[in-house]
């Protein structure tokens, strides 16, 4: 299918042309055929559909670089508690009751919410990951999924599953599936749920399969203290020692970093996912994002799960990231609108392993695109569209979402997901699993 957007304002997130006024974009199959082409090119394009861009803003799809999408099942269930109490008394007992099918419906709800708020790709870490992959295939969204390489025995002892020598079935089954919309990483939940041996084996596993690792890193002060007690070094240092940082790493949080940690993350080219809302809600602290950006560390944005946020709305994360550090450091120059938008688009795409094919509006890239309706009082006058996205836009301004050249939502109507049925199923599930 060929689609032509004409007379449309474009945020490219491509450094060479961050904003184009009144331009055009052609999509052919799953790719962007051209951006701002000449009249001759447009005349010979022969689109199946022409969409007029009046009062519309076209931009790269948002990337939610760290979430647990099926935690939508636990939304608004346990709030205003300390992380450990929240996990042990509320989240883990409810998760223990979840079936694979529950995770499928929770993920579908999360994907519906993400598409409706302009997200075209996400990185997910959770249980029953085959169901998550199934939901990604059916919904048409793009995702980085990871699989835990360890199993817990008798509640305490960890044992690595022997995935080396062709037995990392999840990777074999899903990596590159759905026209390349799925990428599989190794899950290392955290250094506190692993030990030195399983950290090393996980690094070996990722190297063997030529893939990356998704990890929670230094989310809390407690994690840092306990790591020093247990390993004699903090979580970043033990990861470096065990080879975890020798592969592409998607590190969520990174709130409590030492100077040495920042040097290691920079040297090892670790991508950090800033989850400002979740870190605030759980009282974990505020990641030193301005410092990381200054050091040239790639920083993306994520919502984390819906039970510590409590939604999967990336517009809120862009807004929070752009405001939070200004207030904390009393410096309005920190994290400008363009940086915040890039964190949620091109940086996110690189962080979750799709940087060579998505993340900006450029000829030859995959067509992962969102269109905002700017004919709204809070977006009038538009003046600076990048500022509008960072400081004024709402998730409900997203009108159309395209992933891999396929329209997943148009005029706010989901095309691949039965939203009413999903909400109905999830309401039933939550009655059964909540504690
Ligand atoms: Zn998380």
> Could you read off the pLDDT of 359-399 as tens digits, one per residue?
999 999 999 999 999 999 999 999 999 999 999 999 999 99
- Rounded Cα–Cα distance for residues 178 and 349 (Å): 17
Q: Which has the minimum average pLDDT: 157-171, 207-221, 229-243, 380-394?
A: 157-171
Dist. CA 38 → ligand 1 center (Å): 45
Tell me if the bond preceding 381 is cis, omega within 30° of 0. Answer: yes
Dist. CA 7 → ligand 1 center (Å): 40
- Rounded Cα–Cα distance for residues 363 and 358 (Å): 11
Nearest CA-CA partner of 4 in 36, 13, 18: 36
Q: What is the pLDDT of residue 161?
A: 55
Length of the chain in terms of residues written: 435
Q: Which residue has the tokens 């861009």?
A: 53
Residue 416 token pair: 């691949």
- Rounded Cα–Cα distance for residues 268 and 270 (Å): 6
Dist. CA 305 → ligand 1 center (Å): 6
Kindly give, in sequence order, each residue whose CB lies less than 8 Å from that of residue 402, ignoring residues fewer than 6 positions away.
Answer: 3, 27, 61, 120, 367, 368, 369, 370, 408
Are 264 and 245 a contacting pair, CB within 8 Å? Answer: yes
Dist. CA 34 → ligand 1 center (Å): 37
Helices (H) and strands (E) in the chain, counts: 18, 19
For the full predicted model, state whether its pTM sits above 0.85.
Answer: yes
Dist. CA 105 → ligand 1 center (Å): 19
- Rounded Cα–Cα distance for residues 70 and 136 (Å): 12
User: 409-413 — which CB contacts under 8 Å span 24+ positions?
Assistant: 409/115, 409/116, 412/116
- Rounded Cα–Cα distance for residues 119 and 315 (Å): 9
- Rounded Cα–Cα distance for residues 124 and 64 (Å): 9
Q: Is residue 198 over pLDDT 50?
A: yes
Dist. CA 217 → ligand 1 center (Å): 10
- Rounded Cα–Cα distance for residues 98 and 19 (Å): 45
Q: What is the pLDDT of residue 154?
A: 43
Instruction: List, for residues 49-90, the tens digit of each pLDDT value.
Output: 999 999 999 999 999 999 999 999 999 988 998 877 888 898
CB count in 10 Å sphere of residue 353 = 20
Residue 347 token pair: 């940086």
Nearest CA-CA partner of 12 in 4, 1, 24: 24
Q: Is residue 284 over pLDDT 80?
A: yes
Q: Is residue 155 over pLDDT 60?
A: no
Dist. CA 190 → ligand 1 center (Å): 10
Mean pLDDT, residues 295-322: 97
Nearest CA-CA partner of 287 in 254, 263, 319, 265: 254
Dist. CA 312 → ligand 1 center (Å): 12
Half-sphere exposure of 246 (CA within 13 A, CB side): 16
Q: Is residue 166 over pLDDT 60?
A: no
In 295-400, alpha helices (H): 314-328, 337-344, 346-351, 385-387
Mean pLDDT, residues 171-190: 96
Coil, strand or helix: which one is 138? helix
Dist. CA 216 → ligand 1 center (Å): 6
Instruction: Give the pLDDT band of residue 429 (cuts 50, 70, 90).
Output: very high
Q: Which has the minimum average pLDDT: 143-157, 228-242, 251-265?
A: 143-157
The kind and range of the H/E element at 188 are strand 182-188
Mean pLDDT, residues 97-104: 97
Nearest CA-CA partner of 107 in 77, 67, 58: 67
Q: Which residue has the tokens 């009108």?
A: 399
Write the secondary structure of 57-84 as one string of H (helix), E (strand) and C (coil): EEEECEEEEEECHHHHHHCCCCCCCCHH
Residue 100 token pair: 């694979």
Are 335 and 326 a contacting pair, CB within 8 Å? Answer: yes
Dist. CA 24 → ligand 1 center (Å): 38
Mean pLDDT, residues 87-108: 94
Dist. CA 67 → ligand 1 center (Å): 6
Sign of the torsion formed by the C-alpha atoms of 283, 284, 290 and 293: negative
């Amino acid at each position: 299918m060929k689609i032509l957007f004409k007379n449309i304002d474009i945020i490219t997130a491509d450094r060479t042309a961050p904003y184009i006024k009144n331009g055009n974009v052609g999509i052919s199959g799953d790719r962007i055929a051209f951006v701002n082409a000449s009249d001759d090119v447009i005349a010979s394009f022969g689109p199946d559909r022409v969409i007029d861009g009046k009062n519309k803003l076209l931009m790269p799809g948002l990337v939610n670089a760290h979430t647990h999408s099926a935690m939508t099942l636990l939304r608004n269930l346990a709030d205003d508690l300390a992380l450990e109490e929240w996990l042990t008394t509320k989240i883990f007992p409810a998760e223990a009751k979840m079936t694979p099918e529950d995770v499928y419906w929770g993920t579908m709800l999360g994907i519906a919410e993400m598409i409706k708020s302009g997200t075209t790709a996400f990185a997910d870490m959770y249980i029953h990951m085959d169901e998550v992959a199934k939901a990604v295939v059916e919904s048409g969204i793009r995702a980085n999924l990871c699989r835990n390489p360890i199993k817990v025995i008798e509640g305490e002892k960890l044992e690595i599953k022997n995935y080396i020598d062709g037995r990392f079935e999840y990777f074999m089954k899903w990596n590159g599936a759905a026209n390349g919309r799925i990428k599989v990483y190794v899950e290392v939940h955290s250094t506190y749920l692993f030990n030195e041996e399983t950290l090393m084996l996980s690094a070996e596993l990722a190297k063997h399969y030529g893939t990356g690792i998704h990890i929670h890193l230094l989310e809390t002060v407690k994690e840092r203290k306990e790591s020093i007690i247990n390993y004699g070094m903090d979580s970043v240092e033990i990861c470096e020692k065990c080879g975890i940082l020798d592969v592409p790493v998607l590190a969520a949080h990174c709130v409590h970093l030492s100077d040495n940690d920042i040097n290691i993350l920079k040297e090892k080219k670790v991508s950090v996912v800033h989850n400002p809302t979740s870190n605030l809600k759980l009282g974990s602290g505020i990641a030193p994002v301005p410092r990381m950006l200054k050091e040239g560390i790639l920083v993306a944005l994520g919502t984390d799960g819906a039970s510590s946020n409590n939604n999967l709305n990336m517009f809120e994360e862009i807004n929070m990231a752009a405001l939070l550090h200004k207030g904390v450091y009393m410096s309005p120059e920190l994290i400008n609108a363009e940086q915040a938008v890039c964190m949620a688009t091109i940086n996110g795409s690189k962080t979750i392993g799709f940087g060579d094919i998505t993340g900006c509006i450029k000829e030859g890239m995959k067509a992962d695109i969102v269109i905002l309706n700017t004919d709204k009082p809070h977006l009038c006058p538009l003046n600076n569209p990048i500022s509008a996205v960072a400081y004024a836009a709402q998730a409900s301004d997203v009108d159309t979402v395209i992933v891999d050249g396929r329209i997943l939502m148009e005029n706010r109507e989901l095309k691949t997901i039965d939203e009413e049925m999903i909400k109905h199923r999830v309401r039933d599930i939550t009655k059964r699993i909540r504690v």
